[in-house]
Structure 1
Amino acid sequence: MRVGVLTGGRDCPGLNAVVRAVVRKGAQEYGIEFVGFVDGWRGPLEGETVPLDIPAVRGTLPRGGTILGSSRTDPLRQPDGVRRIRDNLAKHEVGALITIGGRDTLRTAARLAADHGLPCVAVPKTIDNDVPGTDCTLGFDTAVGVATEAIDRLHTTAESHKRVLVVEVMGGETGWIALRSGLAGGANVVLIPEQPFDMDQVCAWVTSRFRASYAPIVVVADGAVPRDGSVALGPRPGSGAGAARLSGVGEWLAGEIERRTGKEARTTVLGHVQRGGSPSAFDRWLATRFGLHAVDAAHEGDFGTMVALRGTDIVRVPLAEATGPLKSVDPRLYAEAGVFFG
């Protein structure tokens, strides 16, 4: 049996650890040969591959990025995309395809499996942690760790200069990174897309913090919006039609806080550092287990499934489950953190 592997969408820590686990177990226990498709869905679409065997994955466990490359290519938007993929899988004698990606990659895999019968098994990755069906996605823990360390460091400069520091983190349409890192880092305000914020309340929290003789840290997800909608949404660069985010919400928020409270405010935008670098210990563990179970599913011919974390177990769920409404922050979790605001 020959199995193809691809990594699609935006990069995140832990992708190489998945590929490593897939290849190690597949080759050692099942005698599977592997083909690495390069640059996400572009690889099977154009038939571009790289050798993928045990020597190729040695030393990749702690390595960030992806040795296979990635892209946001959507084969379903390409002329004869499905036929081209089918032909290239046949050309390379690939009987199963393990796709490692976020919501867009998983959605494509689900359609290819359900509508066209292609043999897909999926692994969920995204720092945003917004894929339904799994308790946690690959890359999320590392991103939270990076954001938490930044918040920890910013506390001292905020206190030294008696200024407000606004920390803008990634998250897309969800606030998982903002909430987890904000709570872990001792932020005084956390703003997430699921809960449109009241600017008057934000300023009240900031003022309250200064009355206690401390400088506040405000953590804001890049998709957070004010309740009155006074900041226009703009298209997210590189996104498909209809995708939007609050562009520059951190800078806007710092300006509003300074204008309304008279307190100096500065913004730190963490950006892509949250996606880069070596994966955390948890992400290495999760990636490895995802890879081991994904190759089991491929070997057993259990296509149209996604491996997922449920509690401490790795289970298989229908790929269709991963393409449902995104996994948003539960309002109860956000309410828990509210005791530390202000």
Structure 2
Amino acid sequence: MGEKKRIGVLTSGGDCAGLNATIRAIVNRAVVTYGWEVVGIKGATNGLMTTPPEYIDLHLSKVESLLTKGGTLLGTTNKGEKRLEECLDLIVENYHRLGLHALIGIGGDGSLAILHRIAKYGNINFVGIPKTIDNDVYLTEYAIGYQTAVNVATEALDRLHSTAESHERIMILEVMGRDAGHIALNAGIAGGAHIILIPEIPYNIENVCRKIAERKQHGFNHTVMIVSEAVYTRNGTCRVGKIGQFFADMITELTGIDTRVTVLGHVQRGGMPSPADRILASSFGVAAVDLIAQENYNKIVAWQNHQVVPVPIEEATGKIRIVDPHDTLVKTAVGLGIYIGEHEGSLEISHNGSGHPAQMFPLADSKILNASIG
């Protein structure tokens, strides 16, 4: 089995389903296959910014039941970057104090970039594993936690359909996604939404209301809509946690139809990981340990074309993976009659550095819309 190594693992950034399953896979591969020891750093990089460092020894018995558990056994944080800059030397010192040969960091694009910077500063052997419900880590088709979040959002839509129909209402579901609309797009299609709004494609509030009017003209007195938290208002502001209410107010004003909002929020992060996330987490965990065995560092493991491949971390950070307006799923939504914004090929869609649409569309005349719907 070669040299016996001692490796560390930490989870950083926002929590999501599948983190524990990843830790379990890392420990199983390292201990069973290679005979190594695994140390879990507590509280992300915070565990390396204390004297002595805060950690737990990860034996097989410690991770046996982690496959289906949400959250992270090790704890995590998405704060404290300023303190981190002040503690770089201490982090490197504690890495060596623990006798680590390599470090595996499980995080989103921001966390992976920070961990890579630490690794470069301290000449630490580092391998990254992408996790985020937003699914916006560059160069990987899937990140841990995303598919569970889609399942949760889809179930919410399933439940909103029946209450919307019963009360002849418009129901709006606001989902997470930060700068990317992957959750809204995928859950919207799977959950039968009639309107999907994502930050990558401009929308026209008039056409949103026209879609509602068309449904009413065809005898459907309810509409279900899903909107990503990063969609901009008409004056170019992003109101995370409030964008759903913004649309509810606008639609009620323009149509006179009772409109209700559900903000799914952190429900998307918690709970038992889906089978797909358990499989991805297991695959990523095994692959990350194998990269250490091969001494193939400064990489993240990525899912591409149904296989796990190593990707240089410099290429995977600094950019985000957003929805391509010409993606197959966008075309699928259009083909299903879903209003997904001003998607026509003749429309020039541009984005700023965060992936937000640079072009928005004006509000319609409320009297015209009320007349068309009434």
TM-score by length of 1: 0.93
For residue 49 of structure 2, give the secondary structure of its aligned residue in structure 1.
Answer: helix
Give the structure 1 partner of residue 200 of structure 2: 194
Q: Please, which of 144, 147, 154 is the counterpart of residue 150 of structure 2?
A: 144
Q: CA-to-partner distance for each residue in 1:68-111, whole Å, 9 max, x for gaps?
A: 00012455653542211110011110110000011111111222
For residue 70 of structure 1, give the secondary structure of its aligned residue in structure 2.
Answer: coil
- What is the aligned-residue RMSD (CA, Å)? 1.5
Q: Please, which of 16, 19, 23 is the counterpart of residue 15 of structure 1?
A: 19
Contact in 2 for aligned 1:293/1:314 (Cα 8 Å):
yes
Q: 2:320 and 2:81 mapped to 1: Cα distance?
A: 22
Give the structure 2 partner of residue 211 of structure 1: 217
Give the structure 2 partner of residue 117 of structure 1: 123
Using the TM superposition, give the Cα deviation of residue 208 of structure 1 relative to its aligned residue in structure 2, in angstroms.
1.2
Equivalent positions of 1:18-37 (< 5 A) are 18-37=22-41
Equivalenced residues, count = 329
Equivalent positions of 1:252-291 (< 5 A) are 252-291=246-285
Give the structure 1 partner of residue 140 of structure 2: 134
Identity %: 41
Q: Please, which of 284, 296, 299 is the counterpart of residue 305 of structure 1?
A: 299
Q: 1:76 and 1:311 mapped to 2: Cα distance?
A: 38
Q: 2:338 and 2:211 mapped to 1: Cα distance?
A: 6
Give the structure 2 partner of residue 336 of structure 1: 332
For residue 78 of structure 1, give the secondary structure of its aligned residue in structure 2.
Answer: helix
Matched, 1:180 2:186: yes
Instruction: Give the partner amino acid of 2:230.
Output: G
Give the structure 2 partner of residue 223 of structure 1: 230
Contact in 2 for aligned 1:16/1:66 (Cα 8 Å):
yes
Q: CA-to-partner distance for each residue in 1:112-137, whole Å, 9 max, x for gaps?
A: 23444221100000000000011111
Equivalent positions of 1:46-85 (< 5 A) are 46=50, 47-74=53-80, 77-78=83-84, 80-85=86-91
Q: 2:226 and 2:316 mapped to 1: Cα distance?
A: 28
Q: 1:336 and 1:63 mapped to 2: Cα distance?
A: 34
Q: 1:284 and 1:78 mapped to 2: Cα distance?
A: 31
Looking at CA atoms only, which structure, 1 or 2, has the larger radius of gyration? 2
Give the structure 2 partner of residue 292 of structure 1: 286
Q: 2:141 and 2:125 mapped to 1: Cα distance?
A: 25
Using the TM superposition, give the Cα deviation of residue 229 of structure 1 relative to its aligned residue in structure 2, in angstroms.
2.1
Give the structure 1 partner of residue 363 of structure 2: none
Give the structure 2 partner of residue 91 of structure 1: 97
Contact in 1 for aligned 2:92/2:122 (Cα 8 Å):
no
Using the TM superposition, give the Cα deviation of residue 151 of structure 1 relative to its aligned residue in structure 2, in angstroms.
0.4
Contact in 2 for aligned 1:7/1:70 (Cα 8 Å):
yes
For residue 16 of structure 1, give the secondary structure of its aligned residue in structure 2.
Answer: helix
Using the TM superposition, give the Cα deviation of residue 207 of structure 1 relative to its aligned residue in structure 2, in angstroms.
1.3
Q: CA-to-partner distance for each residue in 1:149-193, whole Å, 9 max, x for gaps?
A: 110111111111111000101100100000000011110000001
Q: 2:85 and 2:139 mapped to 1: Cα distance?
A: 31
Instruction: Give the partner amino acid of 2:111.
Output: T
Q: Please, which of 25, 41, 47 is the counterpart of residue 43 of structure 1?
A: 47
Q: 1:73 and 1:166 mapped to 2: Cα distance?
A: 31
Give the structure 2 partner of residue 325 of structure 1: 319
Contact in 1 for aligned 2:21/2:282 (Cα 8 Å):
yes
Give the structure 2 partner of residue 240 of structure 1: none
